[in-house]
Structure 1
Amino acid sequence: MPVVNAHRVSIITPAYKAAQIIGETIESVLGQTYSDWEMLIAEDCSPDNTRDVIREWEKKDPRIKLVSMPANGGPAMARNEALAHATGGWIAFLDSDDVWLPEKLERTMAYARANGSALTYTGFRRMSADGVRTGKQVHVPRTLSYHALLGNTAIATSTVLVNRTEVGDLRMRKTYYDDFDCWLQILKPGRIAYGLDEDLMRYRVLSQSVSRNKRRSAMHVWRAYRELEKLSVLKSAWYFGQYALRGLLKYRQF
């Protein structure tokens, strides 16, 4: 494992067919008011020129680092490969189609330290694929436990900051919702996640996004309860009802 710098944030970004949008994502990181970071972009064998685009940005700033996947493995494996190269005491996640507002890292770091938080998340707004239209702020609860998260959709991946000192070795399992599963595993021992209810990220809504397929998403959430968390049918039904209701309220408007 690489030497850990306690103050550095390692930004984990999986990238696949992202040539047209990864530049805007990188620019949002370069614009951060908190400067002690490294951005590890795991390029997952895209059929387009995503890897070449990342290499050009890598030349402009040594904090941007291309991690080349040997074969296409999906988001979880790409994130794990980037995590294996991370040198920061803090881990942030930023998907290749999302962008941060300038104070995202600074505000989240300060909030995490003030609360002694192992996992911190923030509010955000959706934006259209072309970046022109921005939706209303998606608010988040101040805290979430493991059991509360089972029935909640509040944690958006590109808002997450993890204290590596508290959590230790961080890896994602290869499952449909690898991010949701990861947050559950962090909280399962009894940790509490803290939410900063400020608008600090833009979530790009893409028509081909797998998370927009509600029926398929619901099926995989149910499987996560039953197969990964080993919950009974009754408990799974209870949490699924809460999850579905909160998801409906969350997505009822742009």
Structure 2
Amino acid sequence: MPTISVIIPTYNREDFIGRALCSVFSQTHPCQEILVVDDGSTDRTKAVVDSLCEQSPVPIHYLYQENQGPAAARNLGITHAQSGLLAFLDSDDHWRKEKLATQLKAMEECPEFLISHTREQWLRMGVHLNQKKKHLPRHGEIFDHCLQLCVVGMSTVMIRKELFEKVGLFSADLPCCEDYELWLRVSARYPFLLIDQPLTIKEGGREDQVSFQYRVGMDKLRIKAISRLLEQTSLTSTQYEMALEERRRKSQVYGMGCVRHGRAEEGAMYLGLGS
């Protein structure tokens, strides 16, 4: 049976990292190892991790790097992981106890899939949120859905390590939307296996989260991600047209926003992309 490495990037998450780790400890199918990648925390994150090492049923490898962002942290975890299957968990999210077992079983039954994801339960400041239809994860060929918005939850995925050899690692130069950019590269070439159960609990709505800090510029980063994708020769003609149209749409929206907020020069550039 294949083994699983769990990769947890973290930055100043002393209040949440313990819950994330305990959700890994309680899995009905244990992983082989846990890699906590500390992206330059200045709080007690390491102390919390150290205090939980004796409770862990598997080795915890603590990796520290100067602050470089979540993409670089995940990449460091990937390069150190020993297992053929990688499961990612953001340090402010957590899993239901059957998550790894259910996902592993599905991937063993469908060996042709290189990546799988689960549904999520969304919480905002502890309150349950109902997901809109557009946010619900899908199965199979999901390139068109991935273009629209980030529809694959980072804490939901289990990936065969060989996939990164085929499509490359996370783009470490992106401060946000690095997951969106990777899912574009993956979904352009490979289908996604959906485990249609809410096995991942995702927390949101806090000002210290990267997605909150970059909420105004996320469209700009997604436009950048699509522009990179359009430079690839591996896209089919249909995929190319779909990506071009989505870049036009996002550029129009972002460009008009720039104009409304007094950034006319930047707005004109993006409106030109959208024409």
> TM-score range with shorter-chain normalisation?
0.7 to 0.9
Which of 125, 134, 152 is equivalent to 1:155?
152
Which structure has the bigger radius of gyration?
Answer: 2
Distance, in Å, in 1 between the alignment partners of 2:192 and 2:74 is 21
> Aligned to 2:129, what secondary structure does the other structure show?
strand
Select the structure with the greater relative contact order (CA < 8 A; seq sep ≥ 6).
1
Q: Tell whether the 8 Å contact from 1:221 to 1:240 is kept in structure 2 after alignment.
A: no
Q: Tell whether the 8 Å contact from 2:6 to 2:31 is kept in structure 1 after alignment.
A: no
Distance, in Å, in 1 between the alignment partners of 2:154 and 2:79 is 19
| Displacement of 1:168 | 3.6
| Displacement of 1:181 | 2.0
1:143 has 2:140 as partner = yes
Instruction: Give ranges in structure 2 of 5+ residues lacking alignment.
Output: 233-239, 251-275
Aligned equivalent of 2:237: none
Aligned equivalent of 1:7: 2
Letter in 2 for 1:97: D
- Post-superposition CA distance 1:40-83 (Å, at most 9, x none): 010111111111211222233242221122x1111111111111
State TM-score, norm by structure 2: 0.76
Aligned equivalent of 2:272: none
Paired residues for 1:23-172 under 5 Å:
23-61=18-56, 62-69=58-65, 71-115=66-110, 116-129=112-125, 131=126, 133-136=127-130, 139-165=136-162, 167-168=164-165, 171-172=169-170
Q: Tell whether the 8 Å contact from 1:95 to 1:157 is kept in structure 2 after alignment.
A: yes
RMSD across aligned positions (CA):
2.7
- Post-superposition CA distance 1:197-254 (Å, at most 9, x none): 2111111113212324543111111111114543889843436759xxxxxxxxxxxx
Q: 1:161 to 1:234 in 2, by over 3 A?
A: closer
Paired residues for 1:146-225 under 5 Å:
146-165=143-162, 167-168=164-165, 171-174=169-172, 175=174, 176-188=176-188, 190-208=189-207, 209-212=209-212, 213-225=214-226
Distance, in Å, in 2 between the alignment partners of 1:27 and 1:241 is 42
**What count of residue pairs does the alignment treat as equivalent?**
235
Instruction: Give ranges in structure 1 of 5+ residues lacking alignment.
Output: 1-5, 243-254
More helix by share: 2
